[in-house]
Amino acid sequence: MCGFTGFYALKAGASRSELHVIGQKMSDTITHRGPDSGNLWQDPDQPLVLAHRRLSIIDLTKDGEQPMVSHSERYVIIFNGEFYNFQDLRRELEVKDVKFKGRSDTEVFLAAVEHWGLNQALQKINGMFAFALWDRKEKMLHLVRDRLGKKPLYVGWAGNNLVFGSELKALRAHPEFEAQINAYALQGFLRLNYIEAPETIYYNIWQLPAGHRMSLDLSTLRTGDDLLDEMKSYWDPVRVLDDAK
């Protein structure tokens, strides 16, 4: 199943070791999603922490572990899911002389992003997935959910921290998280028996809708920025049907 979580501290203050402890606590809440291993990565220049819990399926070696850094070291990814057509993409990239170290679909997707860019790579992949992709060069954090929303992805604010992950409990583990109930979402739950995306039960926390992505410039991000404005659709079933007519 796998799972991931992470955060970005907008205001300086905590040391790298303190940020590491917070990230580890968040990761520990989703150990059940990935009992095989758990790793944490910190950006050397930014207060950004990425953590991943792994359930080994495709590549059982350490070459498939996450967070995974791309060959150029520009991109870092934490990913939950499976890219069904990664073998086809790998062969396509190998023709272009792209080299691979392991056998994981994660490494293939990172290579696809490096070769074609995220926009084109998203159009090429087929699968169920949620991931956070950090572009160290552009200082952009990309949060992406699969076309039908099979894999969950939550994002929001915990005080002065941008928090994200596969489960709400991971976000709750951040020490600045305020578990304020979202009255609007509660009304929807009582009416529909579920909470409709992008709302969640917590105020200032949202679920990324199916077929949507967020690309956040962490160099300009400010606490309280309306994250809903950053949620953009990259795939729409209605548009696909219209194009097929």
Catalytic residue ranges:
2
Gap between the Cα atoms of 121 and 244, Å rounded: 21
Cβ burial 26-37 (10 Å sphere, 16+ → b, else e): bbebbeebbeee
The answer to whether the CB of 110 falls within 8 A of the CB of 75 is yes
208 Cβ neighbours under 8 A, 6+ residues apart: 130, 143, 144, 145, 153, 154, 155, 197, 198, 214, 231
Task: Kindly list the distances between the CA atom of residue 49 and the CA atoms of 24, 162, 202, in Å, as whole numbers in the listed order.
Answer: 9, 11, 22
The structure tokens listed for 36 are 């095989």
